Structure 1
């Protein structure tokens, strides 16, 4: 395995990490568990507002289009801070940075619950994303920096749960809390895991030396390019469908800014001797394959979590709480599958395990592409369980591939880039699926409209039957006829949407199954299994 480019100590270079003892004490496990709690909390907050968005918008007197910025602001800030965590860890140390950013996350979560108008909510959500986003890569960094190789499979297995369980549990928890206690409770609930996280990190990690000189010597031009590029790309993806994509000057402007920013980031990173995050890691084959597939998994995770609640709400008429009861079956079984996957990862080529996970995940999406208007909890239960079986195998093995052969000083960079790519993949997936849903609904509506013609005998019989039914309820013939035509039109629209949702799941399923071939471009990897295990490649 090709190792990363070594750098001489100096400004911007990570300090050498101390040797990790083979035996892990309770303090270290508590610190790792606290880090996992933080990652779970941060990912959960991406999705948790979706179930309560209607109530939030009603309180803040905002439209649906204006309300989309509540999620966009969080995602923009989160995607910007993730690549910066490597720099902040070098500057403040793990302990101080995690405690500080968690405390600020709790502050801004509370302020979200007290938001008095849309503008204040967007600002607080943006700050919540900037402080909480760092917790995602930090959890993975803790596993790699504090656990010996033989224990990392367990740590990465738990980390994988945070990435796959949280998107499934977000709508569930949000729906329950909003219905029982009101929408502000979805923000206040962060205090429970947040306080535990701070306590765990304070007890589990030793104090690190603060090195503020890192900020003075940081590549601020590259950071500015990165922030502009990633934030603009996220805004373009989140707002593109509602603004008709490149027909809008707004979208064209942000697309240009995204291109300029990302290109500028890459150029300055290559030219800089000590970049704030090491993009050269993409030159390693395993890391490149893992991050590409991580983006695809992000599309699948967030895409399926986007499509299914919409289908259940729009077609089946489910309440947020009922939607949560369906979605949770994509998460709960993972608690039992993940330990099994971690054990297998030490014995079996991880490429095989990842392919199995991709197959199960993709198969579940293909099964979801055969829904009809009567599909509900009973029909969706097993597809959710199949998905929950596959996802842990994918997330655990991709983490293994991404961190394989990474030098200790580059582990924060690797964790940042790996998690950034997954979140970007989620944004891309949701944007593409939202556009596909709109376009395919128009397509199917036009196709069905040709079949359901007023000149068709079958259609006319249906309209006559509905007209008679409305007349029996006291409507005059003209009103009853109009209501019958409207009812037929509503059925056509409903079936068009059902077919569009099916198309979306079919596309996601095909992409996931197609990635099985991509997996074999990576080298063979197994998780270390013994106390003296080294790199894990075989």
Structure 2
């Protein structure tokens, strides 16, 4: 007999106390995402302190990302089972404590173990934010809660670069790990004060989806490691990469089949049958890849071509990140009107993103930081115009008791898309740089005798450096053009898939019940007859 999911307890009345608890979950979720990005940006400084090289040190980010995305899959189920408040506090404190211990690791192997454990704790936090927003927020403030969740996709990734620059340029590299400690303690206190305490639901272990957890987490773990280490180990020429990608190709389809038929799954794949939810999920996955054009590509270009340090790139990231604290609620206010069609807001945001990428595709080797400011302003406006409405569209068809299923699906696939997008852009830039470099060197070789007669050895070496620089410029231009192609796919999906969405509406009042007819008294019955 198919089991039915345990219905969540009745939500507590929304008030200042509950709002404080939601702020605590938001801080915890943002700290998790920021910690991941800051560590990746400051990896060279961390490896220098541990005396490790780039190849072995690359596992620091790989293992953290693999554990983080895997935890996103099972966190909503665990939160319902152990109670959301209790689970959020334990994961936040564990995430903070493990981060505080990382600088004290005696060697790289110990650091890798701590990062895996921290990734498991940190990955559990973003899904809780969506779960809390869907469960506790009443209809008139639900969009503002979703706009807070949108900050994890717009504000968090973009603020990481300024923080990494602040800790590594003149301050202590240990702050890369310790920065989360005060925020973790603060968010734990806010969660403990504000969120209501649900009873334990340990009876859910009788129907736990062990097979799905092993297949899903194992498949995600292998896929993330295979993708992030593939370029360094030469992809399918490496037996390790072949085994990892083959294992993921087997586990993930079996996981999907298991989730479809399991009575209490981790992911409810049947939700994809709702057009608006499918649209939101597809668009969010593609947006995570396109969002790399905001800070990722400009900072990589300035570092590779102009030799900028993170501190010199800091204003670009701040220009995109800080206004999101205002832009996200403003967009929520706009689309919280019945006469505003959120699909048109998304279309405008996508066109602005395409305009920014088109402008970036015209970069030259003369571009410096100031040349990116107009593009960053466009990104500042465009990103929330895409993320906030698509969250409204996707969650508008989700019932409160389906929140954990939707949260597991959205967050795990979004985390996986972040890894895939970073790998794709990085490998695209590398491959295109090699292609353009070979092409330019071929042209230079055909005129070698002419240049040799005019230039000495120093001039020839300088010319070779200019060739490499120009190859990087062309490669980053190609990356912008590739992102325009992804935006075009998002526009096609927008035209085809979603139905007309409306902002959250007040619950319909129940029809008045008619009083049950009372039996007539004996005297009345005789008079009637």
Q: TM-score, normalised by structure 1?
A: 0.90
Equivalence for 2:115: 125
Equivalence for 1:496: 471
**Quick one: distance in 2 between partners of 1:270 and 1:303?**
36
Q: Of 24, 31, 34, which aligns to 1:34? A: 24
Moved more, 222-231 or 432-441: 432-441
Deviation of the 1:454 alpha carbon: 6.2
Equivalence for 2:493: 518
Q: Which runs of 5+ in 2 are unaligned?
A: 510-529
Equivalence for 2:200: 210
Do 2:298 and 2:372's aligned partners in 1 also have CA atoms closer than 8 Å?
A: no
Task: List aligned pairs for 1:210-359, cutoff 5 A.
Answer: 210-302=200-292, 304-347=294-337, 348-359=340-351
Do 1:354 and 1:394's aligned partners in 2 also have CA atoms closer than 8 Å?
A: yes
Equivalence for 2:429: 437
Do 1:150 and 1:533's aligned partners in 2 also have CA atoms closer than 8 Å?
A: no
Equivalence for 1:104: 94
Change (3 A) 1:114 1:302: farther
Do 2:97 and 2:181's aligned partners in 1 also have CA atoms closer than 8 Å?
A: no
**Quick one: distance in 2 between partners of 1:50 and 1:127?**
17
Number of residue pairs matched?
A: 506
Equivalence for 1:385: 377
Superposed CA offset, 1:458-496 (max 9, x none): 7457x53xxxxxxxxxxxxxxxx3222211111101110
Moved more, 41-50 or 94-103: 41-50
Do 2:9 and 2:198's aligned partners in 1 also have CA atoms closer than 8 Å?
A: no
Do 1:303 and 1:433's aligned partners in 2 also have CA atoms closer than 8 Å?
A: no
**Quick one: distance in 1 between partners of 2:488 and 2:160?**
26
Moved more, 499-508 or 268-277: 268-277
Deviation of the 1:25 alpha carbon: 0.7
Larger radius of gyration: 2
**Quick one: distance in 2 between partners of 1:221 and 1:302?**
35
Change (3 A) 1:171 1:7: farther
Superposed CA offset, 1:260-319 (max 9, x none): 110121122123211133222222221111111111011122465443322111111111
Superposed CA offset, 1:139-161 (max 9, x none): 11111111111111111112112
Superposed CA offset, 1:335-367 (max 9, x none): 232222111112211111111112222221221
Superposed CA offset, 1:489-517 (max 9, x none): 11101110111011112211221233112
Q: Kindly report the root-mean-square deviation, in angstroms, between the aligned alpha carbons of the 2 structures.
A: 2.0
Moved more, 270-279 or 92-101: 270-279
SS of the equivalent of 1:206 reads: coil
Change (3 A) 1:327 1:509: farther
Do 2:29 and 2:125's aligned partners in 1 also have CA atoms closer than 8 Å?
A: yes
Superposed CA offset, 1:207-243 (max 9, x none): 2111223234311111100111111111111111222
Equivalence for 2:503: 527
Superposed CA offset, 1:84-121 (max 9, x none): 12211121111000000001001111111222322122
Moved more, 132-141 or 370-379: 370-379
**Quick one: distance in 2 between partners of 1:397 and 1:458?**
59
Deviation of the 1:451 alpha carbon: 2.7
**Quick one: distance in 2 between partners of 1:139 and 1:85?**
11
Q: TM-score, normalised by structure 2?
A: 0.91
Deviation of the 1:246 alpha carbon: 2.0
**Quick one: distance in 2 between partners of 1:495 and 1:526?**
49
Deviation of the 1:122 alpha carbon: 1.4
Do 1:300 and 1:426's aligned partners in 2 also have CA atoms closer than 8 Å?
A: no
